[in-house]
Structure formats: structure tokens, C-alpha cells
Structure 1
Amino acid sequence: MTDRRRFLLGGAAVLAGIAGTLAACGADDTVGIVTGGTFRSRYRHAATGWTIARPAGHAHDRLPVLVALHARGGDHGAVFTNLRLDRVLADVVGSGTAPFAIASVDGGDHEYWHPRRGTDPAGMVVHEFLPLLARHDLDTRRVAFIGWSMGGYGALYLATVLGRGRVAALVAESPAMWHRAGQRVEGSFDDDADFDRHAVLPRASRLDGIPARISCGDRDGFRYVVTDLRARIRPRPAGGIEPGGHDDAYWRSQLPADLRFAGRHLARP
């Protein structure tokens, strides 16, 4: 069965098994409201935390959603505590970007956001997390993805699976990718065959037509493969090779442009 069929068939069968627990995590009249909870994922076989941030004044609106995929070693909360996505969201919406929500979810320390032995975090996103977001009054008919490092790869991979009909925009910062299986870091793929099945470069044409912003720091070891990826996609992605390394400081420097890009395309019908 192809990757696309694996993801698009049978998602409704797991909806009844999600036990999402909503809990208010924090609110600020200027930043917005952040809520979250946990469900037991049948795809990851693990308790899976999640967070939703909405801009101030839009707590009850049916907003489009940007799904945020964390880096290796992170979790759903790290994109807010380390990158302060909720505050950047407030800033860009306050300066005129159409409002949208940001939702993050646990993808495991090094599960790398693709189907593999014993876990399937990508299947969790498609068949469990997106339906959960819809039940929380977010518009998931077309979504955007953003990710950093491991999550940048995940954003690219999920976009190749869901395609133009479902993905409104894609933002990948410093995506953790390699040209060949032998270059991969330990834990990123089960084996060479797993790498070959799920590598993004050979399937880059599946990203054609999806509005994309793909960037990497000029001191980042991934800059060469990112340059290659950018050259394979049509139209050419926004972003580029920018001053910086593979770290939160660089990713924070890109966030305003990243969120404005995602918001602009989420607002389009």
C-alpha cells in the first residue's frame, strides 16, 4: 500500500479511541489563550500531549490552523517555551496577518515524524491529531505545517503525503535531511530501507505547487541538502540560506517571517 493510501484510508476508525482532555494552560489578554491536554495514541502507542494557541480575541472562532512539529529531544510544549510561538503569533496577527491558531503535538524524542517499527507519529498527526483539532472548532480542511530540524523533515514528509489539496502552506526550518542513508544520524530511521521509503529528496516533486518557505542557517551542516531540496521544488520556495546556526536563536530570528507566510496562505480559500 502506498504512503498516501496508508494515511488517507481508515482515519475515522480511530476517532472513538481518542481521549483528549482539555485543560486551560494559560491566558493573556494581549497574547491570547493556550489550551492543551493528552490522549493515548493508537499510532504512537504512547500518551501524547498537545497544545493549541489562539490569538487574543479569537478564543471561540473557527480558525485555520498551523500544525507545529518539534525538533529532536523536544515535545509539544517546547515550541512555546523555547520559541514563544504564542507571542510571535500575537505580534503578527496584531500587525495585520489574518488570525489563525497554532497547534503542537508530541512526536517522540527521535521518532522522526514518519511510519517506522513500533510507532507512526505521522499517522498520529493525520488520523488522531487533526480530528482532535476539528473537535476543538478549528478548520482542518486545509492545514499548514511548520517544523524545525527533525520537525522540519516531518513537515516536508507530511506535505508529500497529504498533497496540495490538503496542505495550504509548508514551513521547514533547518530540516534534518541527508542525501544518502549512510549519512543519517543514529535513531532517525530504522535502517537503510526505512530511509529509502521515507526520504524527502526523491519525492520532492510531490511538493510542487504547495506554498513553501524552506530555510537553513549558513553555519548549519544541513545547508547543502536544503539547497538541493529548494532547487527541486516548483515554484521555488520562499526563504533561503540565512545567517545563523542550527539552534533556537536562528529559528527565533525566522519566526515572524515564517508565521506571516503561513498566515497569508491559510487565509486563502
Structure 2
Amino acid sequence: MRLLVLGGGGMAGSMMVDYFRGRDGFELSWTTRGGGDGSLPLDASDLEAVRRTVAAVRPELIVNCIGKLNADAEAHPLEAYAVNGLLPHWLAFAAGEIGARLIHISSDCVFLGDRGGYTELDRPDGISVYARSKALGEVNDPRHLTIRTSIIGPDASPKGIGLLRWFLAQTGEVSGYSRVYWNGVTTLELAKAVEHAAAHPEIGGLVHLLAAAPASKLEMLEWFKEAYGRDDVAIVPAAEPEIDRTLSAVRTDWIYRAPSIPDMVRELAAWERRGG
């Protein structure tokens, strides 16, 4: 299968590239903003350049991992609405021109986070630029697939803001939020889910990808500490803030099931130690 990963330099996209480079049955191309290291250069704000890249590669499957994240989105709202909101629909159009399928990665941050257990049927109620732009970009079309989730993983990007990257850069005492709840997946698990979705083109619209059980950010930091051998970090429980953006799934045709969070963290750490 000819596969095009857009945003191969970010946290989700770089893992997609690493994972699918080693998988049989995939002919991989990927983009980064500057190109180099085997990637195709692409400025995602240039929609005609996006269309030309898709037409030149002629993939059977496009995986969109491009996004403007939280603070960057708030600082540059017009760019955020263009990249997070408009680009996925433009990609669906470009994919349709060549008979390709789009898998777009969305976020649990489309929800406010005041109750948790959000299903695919719940209306996004987030109020930040990031939340609203990501909600706008969700492609709910039976020919394509939007995977709504939250991710943790290694991140080489200088603009990376992920929890794992932050933790691994710490020493001494750090706060672990006991009432911030999460049930997303590692980027490695996301890549596996995309591989599953690639084999099931009949699955379209919007699906939720979630861990077997939710956990607090406090618990997650403890699992990071164990898996990565970071005895130099002391985790201090903190009761504030209180946020619950955990997802729930009601669709019965999306049968992919992710493992528990500690199992995914241990698998990711082992993956990194052996270099993929």
C-alpha cells in the first residue's frame, strides 16, 4: 500500500514514519516542513502545494499528523484554523481526486474536560482556539476516518510540548496531578491502530481510540519513572487542577482495543531502547 504521512517531524508523525518504515506491505513517503532525511518538503499552509504533493505521490492512504498545538494555536489563531480546521477537509478533497483514503488524527481536547466519558456522539464543547480548530477539522465522512485520541510519546520537535518529553527533562521534585484524568495511547499504539484501520477501509467517519482503563497524570508519571529508570525524579501529588477529558466508545464496528497505559508505556520504553 502506498502510504503518505503528513507531518513526519512531529510527535505522532515521526513515530508513524519509524513504525511503517519497518512494516511489510507499505511503500512509505512522508513530509516535513523543511524536507531532508528522506522526507518531502511541505508547507501545510500552502494548500496548492499540499494538493500537488498528494497528486505526485499518488498514495492509496494519507495519514494527517499535522497540527498547530495549544499555545501556538492561541498565539496564531488564523494559522490554527487554517491548519487544524481547513487542511483536513482539503486533504479529503485531494484524496478523493485520486481515489485515496484519509486518516486524520484529532484530539480529546475538543472537549472542555469537566466530566469525562465523552463518546463519539457528544458535541465538542471546548472553548480554546485549539479545541475549536481541531473540532472544525474532524472529517466525518464514510470514505475517510478521523481517529480522536490523545497521545504520549518521544518528540524530537523543538516545539514539542508532550508530557513524556517534559518528564524526561526533569530532575528533583515534580508535581503529579491526582485529579487530571487521561485514557489516551502512546504514539506507538496509535501507529498500530492506523495499521489496523488501513486494513479495514470499510470503517469510516469518527472513532475514539482509548486505553483499556483511565489513569491520573500522577499515576502516569510513576509509570514513566519506572519504565525509563528515572530514580532521580521525585513525584509529589497535587490535587489541582481537576480535568477529565477521558473518552468512551460506543461504535461497535471499530474493534481495535488498546492495552493498559502502563503496558503501553513499558512497550514504548523498550521500543526506544532498541531503536525501533
How would you bin the TM-score normalised by the shorter chain?
A: 0.3 to 0.5
TM-score (norm. length: structure 2): 0.36
TM-score (norm. length: structure 1): 0.37
Highest CA radius of gyration, 1 or 2? 2
